Amino acid sequence: MAIPITIPRLGWNMEEGIFVGWLRRDGDPIQAGEGLFTLESEKATEDVECLDSGILRIPTGSPSPGDPVKVGDLIGYLLVPGENEVPAIDSQESLLKLEAVKGPVPASTSRKVECTKSAISPRARRAAAELGVDWRNLKGTGRTGRIREEDVRNARKAAKVRDESEVGDSRITPTRRIIAERMRHSLSTTAPVTLTTTADATNLVDFRQEMKTQQAEKAPGFTDFFVKLAAVALAGHPRLNSRWENDRIIQLREIHISIAVDTEAGLMAPVIRDVPRLSLVEVADRSRALIDRARKGTLKIKEIEGGTFTITNLGAFGIDAFTPIIHWPQCAILGIGRIQRQPVVINDQVVPREQVTLSLTFDHRIADGADAARFLQTLVTLIEEPSAALTRVEDA
């Protein structure tokens, strides 16, 4: 019998994604391990591989490139040689006929699918894709509540009337929805507290200027410096490198730092792994590559998962202090403000010095205020005397 191909769950909270397109054509022979289709979810794009071999069949009703899909949606089949007949995908109810299928499950099937009674006709699905209508929230007028093409077109007309009275487009993209859900989840499941302090960054600025003179375009950016220095500080204050899990505080051995990246698709946070083991130049190289992939939309799931601490830098926008939101399930996130020359009193004399504001938001369930304050004290010391900390830490 035909083996169903369904949308897998690629991320911890993934419920839906965007179907980017098939990597093979209808009727192509597929070998185990080959890429089958491309799926965009959790701010990343992944090629989904198949664990089985067979003939790919893409029935009528399969999603088109750009269509929204839900985890578990049926999108195609694998046939064994000699099989030809496959049912059209008029709705996900057709999966009920496949519950008795035996044998290996393809890589694109990540869990048993929960079928729903809501349905959309193939013509309505195509119309929704052409008009940019999210049909999942529509109420169908067909038999058993099925969404018809007329329902989609009426929804687009209603949306157009609303659009004419609005300044901008109010539609929410899947990426923006994921960001909103994560922010809401973070605020509802943590006890966030923010501490701010300032550090004298004069020596740090001078240190970077020397590296720019030597390395030109490949010189580390200020965020790279803060990533490395924060990792050194976290090694001495591991409570900030922890997470709350099942009513326990889990202290993490490795230090993987997420860096917030502004992209056209929304805020992303790729992860620089094992930062204490990297030199500053290596941190800069990995950061540069991750930021480039984030802005091109080619990050993989593994590159945005597993962070233990986050850094977000708004200094380039002229921001001094702000309240960053914890990147759940991490304990803390460090906000970096702009580096600005200001008058400072030293030995009863007013002198110009480069100052930077640090904003640390932490989960008060995991760490106390004194824990966070001591971490900031250590970090300030490292920023003010950075040269010793910015040497390579060799593998043990």
Backbone angles phi, psi at 360, to 5 degrees: -110, 115
Q: Write down the catalytic residue from 274, 348, 364, 371.
A: 364
Annotated active-site residue 371? The verdict is: no
For 245, other C-beta atoms within 10 Å of its C-beta total 9
Sheet of strand 44-49: strand arrangement: 44-49, 35-41, 16-22, 68-70
Contact (Cβ atoms closer than 8 angstroms) between residue 267 and residue 260? yes
104/299 Cα distance (integer angstroms) = 30
Contact (Cβ atoms closer than 8 angstroms) between residue 329 and residue 248? no
Cis bond upstream, residue 81 (ω within 30): no
H helix intervals, 297-368? none
357/318 Cα distance (integer angstroms) = 11
The H or E element spanning position 333 is strand 332-346
Annotated active-site residue 364? The verdict is: yes
Region for residue 380 given its phi and psi (left: phi exceeds 0; alpha: psi -120 to 50; beta: otherwise)? alpha
Q: Write down the catalytic residue from 206, 292, 368, 395.
A: 368
32/50 Cα distance (integer angstroms) = 6
Sheet of strand 349-363: strand arrangement: 192-200, 349-363, 332-346, 309-313, 257-259, 271-272
Contact (Cβ atoms closer than 8 angstroms) between residue 17 and residue 10? yes
Tell me the residue type at 8. Answer: P
Question: Which sequence positions are flagged as catalytic?
Answer: 364, 368
